[in-house]
Structure formats: C-alpha cells, structure tokens
Amino acid sequence: MRVVLVGPPGAGKGTQAQFIASNLSIPKISTGDIFRANVSGGTELGKLAKEYMDRGDLVPDEVTIAMVRDRLSEDDARDGFLLDGFPRNVPQAEILKKMLAEFGVALDVVLELVVDEDEVVRRLAGRRTCSQCGRIWHVDFDDKKDDVCDACGGGLYQRDDDKEETIRRRLEVYQEQTAPLISFYADEKILVGVDAAGPVEEVTRRAMEALAPYVD
C-alpha cells in the first residue's frame, strides 16, 4: 500500500506513522527525520536544510524531491511505503505523481489528520524526541519529566524548531503551502480524513479503520 499522511505540524503524523507503518509492514519515510539525520551528521545536505528548518520554512523543492526520489528507489519501498511530511506543497505532489507513474505505480490513499490549532500548539510545545531510537513523546501527555525514553532508555531532546516563534511560522507555512494539498487530493479522489483528537491509540484505531478498504 502507498500512503501519504498530511496534517499540520503537531497533528501527530510522526506518532501515527510509526504505528501505522508497523501495522501495515511498510517503511515509514519521513522527510523531516531524513533532514534531521543529515543535520546531526553534518552533511552538505544537512547544512543547507538547517538554514530553512531553523526559520520554519520549507527546504527548497529541488533538494527535497531529489532526496525523496533516492529513498523511494530503495528496495524496501518497492511494494509500499508511508510518506510522512512529503509532499508539503502542490508542486511536490505533482512531481510525486509523475515519479510514481515512472515506477508504474500510484498512491492508494492520502490520510489527513484533522485537529484544531490550539491542540496542535499544545502538542508541539511539549514534544520530545528520543535521540537514540527517534520515538516521539510529550512532556505532559506521556508524563516525561525525566527526559528518558521508555522504549530504549535513550535521552530525549526538544527540537530547535519547536520554539514558540518558529512554531508560529511553521503554522503559517502550513496554511499557505501545505493546506492546498487537501483539495488537490480530494480532487484526485484519494483523500480520507480522520479525527486526530483524543488519545494516541484511539487515533491509530480510527486511522487503521479508514485505511482498511485500501489494504491489499
């Protein structure tokens, strides 16, 4: 199955992606995670991306698309994948469609995580990520005052772009550039919305139910 997850920053895409991809036995491909790995690895791509990420802006399409093309060409993505954080604007969506057509395939479904802006800000402000296994936590909702990952014992960190000012810019960028994807995919008749309020497990249950008709 070929799935895209969309929704504002903080909607829970990364959190749900880890469970959905594991339930469906497909690789989770998160452009944000790939950029962050490049930033911490000090690569040229990381140096370039960091500038944009720190401002809350999108990394230029050219760079992002080349990176996604490489990742989708890997063997494990041949029979399916879950994209988290890509596409992020209509030009990226159009190129993705062409790229998949070249591979002789197409997206099955685009899952939109629907959640209001107040909740998104609450989620982003308390987000913590494990520096070892990448698992996502929340200081309040998961009671993570100790900054230790319950899954692997690694240390948790707060992302640089989860500061109040950058959060505001990222939400603006979402409205201007990413939200138009919703009508793009509605027109393509592959958009499915899921209520992303409530506990993580409940949202995963709703997401799996919404995806059930597309499971091959």
Active-site positions read: 13, 88, 127, 159, 170
Please tell me the distance from the alpha carbon of residue 38 to that of residue 32, in angstroms, as a whole number: 10
Nearer to ligand ADP, 26 or 113 (CB): 113
Nearest residue relative to ligand ADP (C-beta)? 32
**138 lies in the binding site for ligand ADP (CB under 6 A):** yes
The single residue among 14, 26, 93, 149 that binds ligand ADP, judged by CB under 6 A, is 14
DSSP letters along 25-61, please? T--EEEHHHHHHHHHHHT-HHHHHHHHHHHHTPPPPH
**134 lies in the binding site for ligand ADP (CB under 6 A):** no
Q: Whose CA is closest to 85, among 46, 139, 147, 30?
A: 30
**26 lies in the binding site for ligand ADP (CB under 6 A):** no
**64 lies in the binding site for ligand ADP (CB under 6 A):** yes
36 is in an annotated binding site: yes
Nearer to ligand ADP, 124 or 190 (CB): 124
Nearer to ligand ADP, 54 or 188 (CB): 54
Q: What residues are designated binding site?
A: 10-15, 31, 36, 57-59, 85-88, 92, 127, 130, 133, 149, 152, 159, 170, 198
